[in-house]
Structure 1
């Protein structure tokens, strides 16, 4: 994969949006937020990180606790590259099938495992959380919000988990994004097809005049745990 020069970035890297609570993100037309669920995973997450670097954009990674436990150094690498890390439960359970108490315990276990992976670098996950399968009910969502998680919803689902070619996923995702004109895009950093299509996706965004918005959370920590983003590696805490 050729290395892009900074002069080729154009206007693709956009503004940074700091979020304090669940709800609309206030995106403008032409603004895109890139999100990656289920990682980290060796061989795909690192390739995706390289591509994001080459285009000069930042993403939000919603990590599984079990995956962060398996690849803790890769979780820290995501943070070191300046991306935002959120959580996605411990083991990708359909929370709508659990009791409220069981669901919150699963959410919390995921947050704790990701926090443990980042702790050697004195970092902690952001408050962003996404429901596995996007499956939820009102009670569990309310409990997550009351526990100070920021629920991150999806506008454009790439459905990159389908057994399709990278080109098919690319075309569907771009079509859905063009139809909406802006939004939060869901990918998964565990699929080779996603890593393969990402350079063409970002190039297409650039050619079509989109900007990639970086997300940060603010307003305190989950379960009263201080929240520090990857910027803390440079001594800049998030508050």
Structure 2
């Protein structure tokens, strides 16, 4: 949680309001000030009445994984895509930080993937899958396989140790990653994690809300995320 302090004199601090801190980011593309993401963060700040932090972590392939994860962790200690945000919360389950309580995580169309196709949205053709494979392989300089638990949490034996008390998974019906998000939700719900997990599915494609922020479904998503952040 973040605190906003006002001062009427050098010796008399007055607590104005206690605000949630939201850490936001995208996986491996652009920087923290890329306009569509930046605009979306401002919309969330206004709707949910929160303080937002966008992590401008070093990106691949020049800076291979695990550098973006480590940069994001350092930012949280001093203070990304959904994939990076998820892995920060997994890390919070094992590495406790003094004064920081990670309450929840909202995963917006998360980039989860794996070596073997699942569900109905993913192609079974190796050539068709290569573009998605390479997002991970190029950024990691081929140091980590497609079933690395950071990319494929469905194979992670530590899944139940997720370091927060609530999760919201947002998926889009025409998103190629849709089934991964749904099965992740099911895994949290049924495989020993003790928190509260919710899911929201809307029409649309991957991260459509960035290109069409004023659309009906983008606004419904924003409202749901805002409500999720505000809940204890």
TM range (shorter): 0.3 to 0.5
Higher helix proportion: 1
Higher relative contact order (CA 8 A, sep 6+): 1
Q: TM-score if structure 2 supplies the norm length?
A: 0.34
Q: TM-score if structure 1 supplies the norm length?
A: 0.33
